[in-house]
Structure 1
């Protein structure tokens, strides 16, 4: 029998691993929010040691919390069945963008009852906690708190009570052509998002200077969702870069990357009934041709953000695989009505051994620069859902991508920080040539 966990203050239901109640914002007692011993998520989130360009922040950092088909996939003998995905090419017609081919399609809604699909709890009205400051220095010895002289037990300081940082609490990836920032947020004990960036060498025979980026968001209701996002992001970006560097078309490379990423996530499942899961969104930005190719499964998003009046209008480049988007596409509910539903963020497609048949979307557009391509998890777009919202919040994000990525994370934290937050900013300068950026 599964124990139902509820907040002792307001009786709102809480998820395993939550440090704070989503409803009232109060800290949860350890016996309520704690991950049970032996649970797959009782192991701390592993750092993404293989991320290219990862570097510790060298200035004030917006910080996290104070508490905490692919046709014919044939898995190895005994491995869980990989999801069967039809790689139908999809292009979105959007104002100011020039699609290469095809027409947009609505998310598949015939997979299963979306009301029973995975979903996030509603956002709290406000963040009742102030973000902590950066740790002053590493602890003097093992088992000591980074915030005070206290000792640490089960990840928390016994004196000040603060959760100790892990390798993925706050991560920054910086290259000359793209920047990513990922943060745990203010509500969760660990970061279940992941990101990865690769830039093809300028002297490569094929696709010089092309940027490949992936953002994945672990589905919190699945076990080891942090591992799922990490495996998916790193596998996806490695395949993207390998195929593009070898001369493959970006759409073909995106399809191959999503196939391999889905196989990798399915391969870490203990069983179909205990399957890690995550969303996936990728971008291949070619400075020579000006094209942007995106691929996605789930509700992590890609945006084009205009850099000025001479640029293409800001636009959302993806369509969520969610219950709310499906209701809107079918004309059953207006977007406002759908987003007010408790099922608004329920996923109808994800990467994982239990995903069933899904539609892996691929779209190519050719915006007019300057501007920026932004990949993000719902930890950001929950607060700034519209492309123009993001553009207005951080004008000319492509001009200073590192500052922009940090600013987006800070804005999400100040808005409530109820989820993990991950943002990758790929600047697109005018004229198709890529210059170095801060």
Structure 2
């Protein structure tokens, strides 16, 4: 007879070998650690800047969830100095990725995330892959694991068990001012996340050294979601950096970039009923002051992670455009009730031709002391939803951003890797950081 055992605290079904319940996060008794698994429900409730005051983290524009710009109504009132310049950007942005479409129906919507998992003792791999620039990881020795000092057999490491990355499965982008790592995870057949990083030249007359980053998460229930995320991320980062170079303030540039990105992903839809879609989160970081402007639609997140006792406390800088968050904000359900729902992670806003007119969010904050701005998809925050949990899992992320980004991806893989995982770490101060006087 098959015996199915459940968590004594929340009655969620647990998997063989599970130490923690995926539903409530509690430690499981020994007698229930051999049960059969089912996908878990909601993650722990999120904290945001609107909920608690955090010393030293100053918002320049009030609560970060206030709608700031309508993607349906905003127009680019400022004309480019050259039509050919914007035509070149638009041509790049709207060019579909040349990839064969998968036959059959779209993948089902992403499963809800797990409860927060504890950080293992070893958080950073000892065997970093030889990645440079924006090229995908390509091991120099195909028989050697890219994650640990193990050997590879039939595409899997015999020591850690991880599938070896190929092509877009695992991508690393490194600049002197920011690092991004994106991984397919362990359950998806392809990586539907995307990221883009731009750095304004240090000798630019406007916004010198400013760091621009965008993370997008393709909506799995939409067609060609991998194309949607790539086109949206590249368009958003390119337009945002260019407008900063032209002298626009970060908030105006962020709104304009989001509009262009939304137009670009809408342009690749074959019809309103077949519309690729994705989430979007961007950051502009001033290397001299640390002032950070965030823009977002959907449930990809931005965090401030404190790097010293005197720095601003770690904090979530965004609020999800999700059903559960909407119910809480409307007062219809308590956070606990909303997070128990099967619709907890359902999106209520995204970028795509079928999104309708949506209000994007823009917020500006100025942290004190050293630390890091982290952008990520839910492939990471499903396991570490709280800002302090991210800080504790990889202390000092801003000091070693490449090691930190890879460590976060490794932690998500070790916790289950149910979704694609993308993390961008922007140190504050950046490599060009310090005061303007110090840079001169």
How high is the TM-score relative to the length of structure 2? 0.67
Indicate the residue corresponding to 1:4 in structure 2.
none
1:414 aligns with 2:414: yes
Is 1:199 equivalent to 2:189 in the alignment?
no
1:334 deviates by 2.5
Residue 265 of structure 2 is matched in structure 1 by 265
**CA-CA distance at 1:163 after TM superposition:** 7.8
Partner of 2:21: none
The equivalent of 1:339 in structure 2 is 339
Deviations 1:292-351 (A, max 9, x none): 000000000000011111111111111100001111112222223322221111000000
Q: Which residue does the alignment assign to 1:352? A: 352
Is 1:199–1:211's contact at 8 Å kept on the other side of the alignment? yes
Per-residue deviation at 1:411?
A: 0.7
Q: 1:273 to 1:23 in 2, by over 3 A?
A: farther
Pairing 1:177-256 to 2, within 5 Å after superposition? 177-256=177-256
* 1:95 counterpart residue number: 54
Q: Are the aligned partners of 1:194 and 1:216 in contact in 2 as well (CA < 8 Å)?
A: yes
Per-residue deviation, 1:105: 4.1
Work out whether residues 184 and 191 of structure 2, in 8 Å CA contact, stay in contact via their aligned partners in 1: yes
8 Å contact from structure 2 (residues 114, 383) kept in 1 = no
Distance 1:148 1:260, change over 3 A: same
Q: Secondary structure at the match of 1:338?
A: helix
1:388, distance to aligned residue in structure 2 (A):
0.7
The change in CA–CA distance for 1:371 and 1:274 in structure 2 (over 3 A counts) is same
* Residue pair 1:239, 1:257 contacting (<8 A) in 2 also: yes
Q: Which residue of 2 aligns with 1:327?
A: 327
| Deviation of 1:223 (Å) | 0.2
Q: Distance in 2 between matches of 1:232 and 1:94?
A: 33
8 Å Cα contact 1:177/1:434 also seen in 2: no
Say if 2:307 and 2:398, in contact at 8 Å, map to a contact too: yes
Given that 2:182 and 2:194 are in contact with CA atoms closer than 8 Å, whether structure 1 keeps it comes out as: yes
- 3-state secondary structure, aligned to 1:202: coil
In the alignment, which residue of structure 1 is the partner of 2:172?
Answer: 172
Equivalent residue, structure 1, for 2:134: none
1:265-414 aligned at under 5 Å gives the runs: 265-414=265-414
Alignment partner of 1:398: what SS?
coil
Residue of structure 1 in register with 2:434 after alignment: 433
Which residue matches 2:27? none
Query: Are residues 107 and 339 of structure 1, via their aligned partners in 2, closer, same or farther at CA, if it must alter by over 3 Å?
Result: farther
- Cα distance, 1:222 vs. partner? 0.2
How far apart in 1 are the matches of 2:116 and 2:426? 31
Q: How does 1:134-145 map to 2 (within 5 A)?
A: 137=141
Residue 290 of structure 1 deviates from its aligned partner by 2.4
Distance 1:23 1:354 in 2: 37
Q: Give me the whole-angstrom Cα distance separating, in 2, the residues matched to 1:208 and 1:179.
A: 19
**CA apart distance, 1:121:** 1.6
- Report the RMSD for the aligned CA atoms in angstroms: 3.2
Query: Do the aligned residues in 1 keep the contact of 2:64 with 2:317 (CA within 8 Å)?
Result: no
Q: 1:373 to 1:137 in 2, by over 3 A?
A: same
Candidates 89, 112, 116, aligned match of 1:122: 112
Write out per-residue CA displacement over residues 15-39 of structure 1, whole angstroms, 9 at most, x where no aligned residue: xxxxxxx9979xxxxxxxxxxxxxx
Q: Is the 8 A contact 2:179 2:405 kept in 1?
A: yes
Q: What's the CA shift string for 1:80-133, capped at 9, x where partnerless? A: xxxxxxxxxxx957413111124444689xxxxxxxxx9522347999xxx9x9
Gaps of 5+ in 2: 5-12, 17-48, 69-107, 118-124, 130-138, 144-150, 157-161
> Is the 2:323–2:347 Cα contact (8 Å) retained in structure 1?
yes
Equivalent residues of 1:401, 1:426 under 8 A apart = yes
Q: Aligned runs of 1:33-112 on 2, under 5 Å?
A: 94-96=53-55, 97-105=57-65
Instruction: Give every structure 1 segment of 4 or more consecutive aligned residues whose post-TM-superposition deviation is greater than 3 Å.
Output: 22-25, 91-94, 102-108, 122-127, 133-139, 146-150, 162-166
Shift of 1:164: 7.8
State the partner residue of 2:82. none
Distance 2:114 2:61 in 1: 41
